[in-house]
Chain A
Amino acid sequence: MKQITILSGKGGTGKTTITAAFTVLAKKAVVADCDVDAPDLHMLLHPEIIETKEFRGSKIAVIDETKCVKCGVCREKCRFDAITQNFTVDPFSCEGCGVCTLVCPVNAVTLTERISGYAYISKIKYGFMAHALLNPGESNSGKLVTMVRQNAKLLAEKERNNLIIIDGPPGIGCPVIASVTGVDAGLVVTEPTMSGIHDLERALRLLRHFNVRPFVCVNMYDVNEENTNKISRFCEENGVEVVGNIPFNPVVTEAMVNGKTVMEYSPKCDVAKEITAIWKRLCIELSLR
Chain B
Amino acid sequence: MIVAVASGKGGTGKTSLAVNLAISIENAQLLDCDVEEPNAHLLLNPKITRQEPVYRLVPSVNEELCDYCGKCAAFCQYNAILTVPGKILVFPELCHGCGGCILICPKKAISEGKNRIGVIKEGFTDDIRIVFGELEVGEPLAVPLIREVKKRLDKSRNIILDAPPGTSCPVIETVKGSDFCILVTEPTPFGLHDLKITVKVLEDMKIPYGVVVNRAGIGDKKVYEYCKGKGIPILLEIPYQRKIAELYSKGIPFSLKMPEWTDKFQKLFEDVKELVGN
Contacts and interface: CB of A to CB of B under 8 A. Distances in A.
A43 B222 CA distance: 14
B176 interface: yes
Nearest to A248: B245
A227 B249 contact: yes
Contact of B99 (A93, A99, A170, A209): A99
A97 B98 contact: yes
A40 B168 contact: no
B127 to A, nearest CB: 23
Given A10-B37, A136-B197, A256-B188, A171 B103 contact: no
A95 B147 CA distance: 14
Q: How large is the interface on B (under 10, 10 to 19, 20 to 34, 35 or more residues)?
A: 35 or more
Contacts of A198: 37, 39, 42
A59 B100 CA distance: 15
Contacts of A136: 167, 197-198, 200-201, 204
A96 B96 CA distance: 10
Interface in A116-141: 134, 136-141
Interface centre among A9, A43, A92, A192 (most CB of B within 10 A): A92
Interface string B193-204: 110011011001
Contacts of A97: 77-78, 96, 98, 100
Contact of B103 (A13, A77, A195): A77
Interface string A83-96: 00000000011011
A137 B193 contact: no
Interface residues of A, number: 65
Interface in B241-273: 242, 245-246, 248-251
A288 interface: no
A262 B246 CA distance: 24
A174 interface: yes
Interface in A85-117: 92-93, 95-99, 102-103, 111
Interface of B: 8-12, 15, 34, 36-37, 39, 42-43, 75, 77-78, 96-100, 103-104, 135, 137-142, 164-172, 176, 188-190, 193-194, 197-198, 200-201, 204-205, 218-220, 242, 245-246, 248-251
